[in-house]
Amino acid sequence: MLRLGRREFGEHEPVIMAIVNRTPDSFYDQGATFRDEPALDRVEQAIAEGAAIVDIGGVKAGPGEDVDAAEEIRRTAGFVAEVRRRHPDVVISVDTWRHEVGEAVCEAGADVLNDAWGGVDPRLAEVAARYGVGLVCTHAGGAEPRTRPHRVGYDDVMADVLRVTVGLAERAVALGVRRDAVMIDPGHDFGKNTRHSLEATRRLDEMTSTGWPVLVSLSNKDFVGETLDRPVKERLLGTLATTAVSAWLGARVYRVHEVAETRQVLDMVASIAGHRPPAVARRGLA
């Protein structure tokens, strides 16, 4: 069982986490949801299309303009409070590595702290424990926040992913985070080259077999772009193919830009696996 906010998700229930960027320089939408109204519209649309979680981020993952904690809080906390007011049942996640930001957004009503940089601020897990919220524990290969991988190497990338993510998850539970609110994330692109991310996908069943719910953040990432030699706006098909493989290997949560398309892929995989009946069944019945 996975319990986040007011929601409980069954063992075979795939969960979509919709990305809402509160940044002016997002790699994907170049600031389309930086202002409040477009961002609130994005939340409405994502929920209507099947997202159970919205993941709000105030700092782009890659290099760019410096954003201090105060500015990150300004971009996220008030918005979290408004989403909470409008959507009491949606699970609100905030993508941050800073404990100060974690404090502010939890006060505003966040349900999950999505730590994409692998515990670089160990106090963030303490915040999650204190507020009783969920936590995403990610493998980032020891990279500093907002840096790109450079000549990174692993003897065994999945062994390192497992060591780091399971270690972070166990530490979080020891601090008081509920076990059924902790997720682990292989961290595609973070501290990895394209071959590392492909291998992490291929061996994802090694993560899912740990028993920790696995979150994958695949959407339009560089490893998809390099694998197919496609720019950001032409990576949807590669993302969906990777999503289908990840679903078959047991991932539970999917952080995405394109919610409706992802929903169809996850429903199809669930039906093939026998966990979901067809929406309709007419052929051969008359």
Q: Rounded CA gap, 96 and 94, in Å?
A: 6
Q: Would residue 123 show up in a list of annotated catalytic residues for this protein? A: no
Residue 63: what pLDDT? 92
Residues 22, 42, 192, 221: which is the catalytic one?
Answer: 221
Residue 78, CB half-sphere, CA atoms under 13 Å: how many?
Answer: 10
pLDDT in tens, the chain (286 residues): 899 999 999 999 999 999 999 988 776 676 677 789 999 999 999 999 999 999 999 999 999 889 999 999 999 999 999 999 999 999 999 999 999 999 999 999 999 999 999 999 999 999 999 999 999 999 999 999 999 999 999 999 999 999 999 999 999 999 999 999 999 999 999 999 999 999 999 999 999 999 999 999 999 999 999 999 999 999 999 999 999 999 999 999 999 999 999 999 999 999 999 999 999 999 988 7
Residues 22, 42, 252, 255: which is the catalytic one?
Answer: 255
pTM above the 0.85 mark?
yes
Ramachandran angles phi, psi of 220, nearest 5°: 60, 30
Q: Would residue 221 show up in a list of annotated catalytic residues for this protein? A: yes
Q: Rounded CA gap, 222 and 62, in Å?
A: 11
Fold assignment, 2-273: TIM Barrel (3.20.20)
Q: Rounded CA gap, 49 and 16, in Å?
A: 10
